[in-house]
Amino acid sequence: MQNLIAFISRIRFFIIFFVLQFFALSTYVSFMSAPRSSYFTTASYITGNLFEIRHSITQHFLLENNNKALQKENIDLRKSSSLFLYSKEAQQSRVEDSSFAQQYEYTPGLIINSTTTKRNNFFTLNIGELHGIKKGMGVFSSKGVVGIVHNTSEHFSVVKSVLTKNINIDVLLTEVGASGMLKWSGQNSNIGYVSGISNDISIPLGSKVVTSGGSGIFPRGIEVGLVKQTRTVEGEASWQIDIEFSQKYGALENIYVVRNLFLDEFKTVQNQ
């Protein structure tokens, strides 16, 4: 205790000087507007920077928690969005064709997976047996024929694309009224060909190719493509007719699955 009193006694003049300086400075700032403004401006600037530094440090340590909260919010939004919900009921429409006594039912769907660069290519659809989709049904888009349903599950379907080795869709050249089979060579995804048409028939370039409806899978008149060139087949009396597909299969998303409600009757009549 005595040592403390002795220490304070030694620096008493410094303590008195410091107190007087503080008092004088406070009085000066309080009564003079310019120094007071400068003082508070400087103090605010320093305080603001300190708050900003503290905020940055706090945000750094809270970053992980903020990211987790943001992810959870995004997941909740995705769950509530109709784009990420599976529809149990697909809209269907029917078109009656009185000329051929046939009735077709159309179910819209989306392609969720596809290939176009293999020898045999397939599309996966977001609709399946729950929506009335069955193997053998035709698939087309607003721009042209797409393929035939190859396999189904409750919620999904796999479509055998036009871009496969043995697709064999019956088609019609509207300008000349000749029917043939649509095939694909496995090379260019934009080019197919029609076989089975006699080379006695003159085929104008640019002729329109559509589905003929002969198998009952597709209605008559769905667009397929345009004639690009004709070539004779060695040893056969028929053309190989190259066509450019109307649908670009690498940029395909929205499709329709078509069901012929009288297909069994149609096949029975044809077989008889």
Query: 142-172, pLDDT tens digit by residue?
Result: 999 999 999 999 999 999 999 999 888 999 9
pLDDT of residue 30: 56
The reported pLDDT for the residue numbered 39 is 47
Domains of the chain: 2-79 (no CATH), 93-271 (2.40.10.340)
Quote the percentage of the chain above a pLDDT of 70.
67
Instruction: Report whether pLDDT(29) > 70.
Output: no
Q: Which of 80-89, 144-153, 222-231 has the lowest mean pLDDT?
A: 80-89
Q: What is the mean pLDDT of residues 129-139?
A: 95
- In the predicted structure, residue 76 carries a pLDDT above the cut 80: no
pLDDT mean over 240-266: 91
Contact 247, 123 (CB under 8 A): no
In this predicted structure, the answer to whether residue 87 has a pLDDT above a threshold of 80 is no
Query: Where does the pLDDT of residue 54 fall: very low under 50, low under 70, confident under 90, or very high at 90 and above?
Result: low
The residue to which tokens 């909260």 are assigned: 69
* pTM for the model: 0.67
Helix axes 2-10, 12-31, angle to 10 degrees: 60
pLDDT at 83: 46
How many angstroms separate the CA atoms of 263 and 138, rounded?
12
Q: Residue 207: which of 175, 169, 170, 246 has the closest Cα?
A: 175
Q: In sequence order, what are the residues at sequence separation of 6 or more whose Cβ sits closer than 8 angstroms to the Cβ of residue 173?
A: 179, 180, 194, 197, 203, 207, 208, 209, 227, 241
Tell me, what's the pLDDT at 62?
A: 57
With a cut of 60, say whether residue 19 has pLDDT above it: yes
Q: Crossing angle for the helix pair 12-31 and 33-80, nearest 10 degrees?
A: 80
81 pLDDT band, cuts 50/70/90, is: low
| Contact criterion met (CB below 8 Å) for 216 and 261 | no
Q: Which residue has the higher pLDDT, 10 or 177?
A: 177
Cα dihedral across residues 246, 247, 250, 251: positive or negative: positive
